[in-house]
Amino acid sequence: MTNVKNILFCTVKYAVYFKRVSRLEEIIPTLETSDVLTHLEKLCPTLSNGTRVVLNFIGRGDKDVQTLATSCDLD
């Protein structure tokens, strides 16, 4: 049961970034990209000022839309 809870929690976190990137960048990110963004949320505050982070958005997130739609509210 723990795995199901973890998967659902992660999927909800991914949905937050998925929606944000879709709105701000007008692209559909993959779940993997959303996963990286969750890690950057923790990493960036630990970096020194002026540090740059480059994220390459790859893949086709349109294939992940159904996965998130069945697990989260994507309004």
Q: What is the pTM of this model?
A: 0.58
Q: What is the pLDDT of residue 46?
A: 95
pLDDT per 10-residue tile (average), the chain, 75 residues: 48 77 82 82 92 82 71 57
Structure tokens at 25: 């960048």
Q: What is the pLDDT of residue 2?
A: 42
Q: What is the pLDDT of residue 51?
A: 94
**What's the Cα-to-Cα distance from 38 to each of 10, 11, 31, 43, 48, rounded to whole Å?**
9, 11, 11, 9, 19
